[in-house]
Structure 1
Amino acid sequence: MTHSLRYAVMIVLLLFFTLPTLWMLGTAFKPAGEYVGTGLSLLPNAPTLEHFISLWQQGVGQRLVNTLVVALGTTALSLTLAFLAAYALVRFRFPAQLDRMFLLLVLVVKMLPPIVVAIPMYRILRSLNGLDSLPGLMLSYQVYTLPFCIWMLLGFVRQIPVDLEEAATLEGAGLFRRLTRVVLPLAAPGLVATLIFAMLLAWNEFLFALLFIQTPSNFTLPLFIATFATENQTYWGELMAIGVISSLPVLILAGYLQRHLLRGFAMQSH
């Protein structure tokens, strides 16, 4: 296959996979009377910001902040606990194969449908006064993110040579210093890769937010998006506009951390 033909195929595939995004972007700027018409055009004939203005008036800014706080808090907690758990599972020896039993338990929890743990999690949050609160949501999201982070970080921690830690130990470094000065810098690409995926899980989560949040001012973006598809009408303009708004932070984060993400996958493959 010649270079020109290869590039042509790549461009066609790129357009094919980006078509839904382009459609969403174009519809977000179309007036209501235009996107319900019969014409199939990606670009708006009379661009407008009416859908974005409507979202701002309905409090999309507060919901965006809520989602950002929950996603960042969930990711920070998951990465901290998962990094310590992965390090312990790789470096320490446990009696009676407790490490394998723990990993099996983590895998089982990850494979369970979220609705299975919804009632126990509801009772836990109620006992902790965490219902209808953002911190309670961060805690409940660990059901999604923590098992994923542990399994993903295991591979990265295993790639770090034990000799480096042994050399640091000979120089008088304790466990905390070895973690912060040796293991953490070497595992940084893996942490960044795990961070992005954990953030995506927390950013897009809907079920637990629906079950545990009742106050509209505490809604996250997935809950807020659901309010625009009602029994009587679907507000396509607002849905497309909020789709653009909710996608931008994650795209910016992934673009900024892309180099570290590729390094993380390179480490995992070796």
Structure 2
Amino acid sequence: MSLLIENFSAWYGQSQILKDIGLEFKENCISAIVGPSGCGKTTLLRSINRTAELDKAFKCSGQILLAGADIYAGKNAAGIRRQVGLVFQTPVALPLSIKENVLFGPRYYGAGKNQLAAILEKCLFQAGLWDEVKDKLDKPAAELSGGQKQRLAIARMLAVEPEVLLLDEPCSNLDPASTLLIEQLLVNLSAQLTIAIVTHNLFQAKRVAQETVFIAEGQVVECGATGDMFNHPHREKTRAFFSGLMW
């Protein structure tokens, strides 16, 4: 499902974080969002899945269109958060078993008991975790490694069948082996989902993303095909950032 952002701005109180953002995240595509710390990347993700508004100081203008419908036009924020899943930088495991972490969402949304076993296996398999945990599904999720917890968080999102998956620095605290597992998982999932990933790792953006967006000071400086962005950027600010001369 495509995601279109038009003239979107966001504030926390009097501080403007995003300024007239215009972007399209394409269906079945991984888009990497890069830029210096504090440039608004996380606020953009949280705006797209409507968790930014949980901060009472947040306000926004413009449109974010999911399949042509403005996500801020209605009051059903929970429904948007189901359609647009967000995985955070620090792996989050609910204080439950591995099984119940995955099934938390489906139970909440009323999945039938006869569906749960299939949902559990499918989502853990998609997240590359099934073979690692199938014999300890009732064990506490807290016992998993950091990389496994991050894949569990992705499995938990997949269990509610999102249309879009957003990830905020999902590999920043992981070892290289776990990072490669997450990257391969995202490549596989992009066959069925629209994916956007915030990353400070430019090599990661080059490895997994078809499209790259460079944001600085709350504005989109440049965006386009990843190869073009890294090899032939149009803006001097983009060239400086990618060469390490800026920030």
Which range, TM-score by smaller chain? under 0.3
Which of the two has higher C-alpha Rg?
A: 1
Normalised by the length of structure 1, the TM-score is 0.24
Normalised by the length of structure 2, the TM-score is 0.25
Structure in which a larger fraction of residues adopt strand:
2
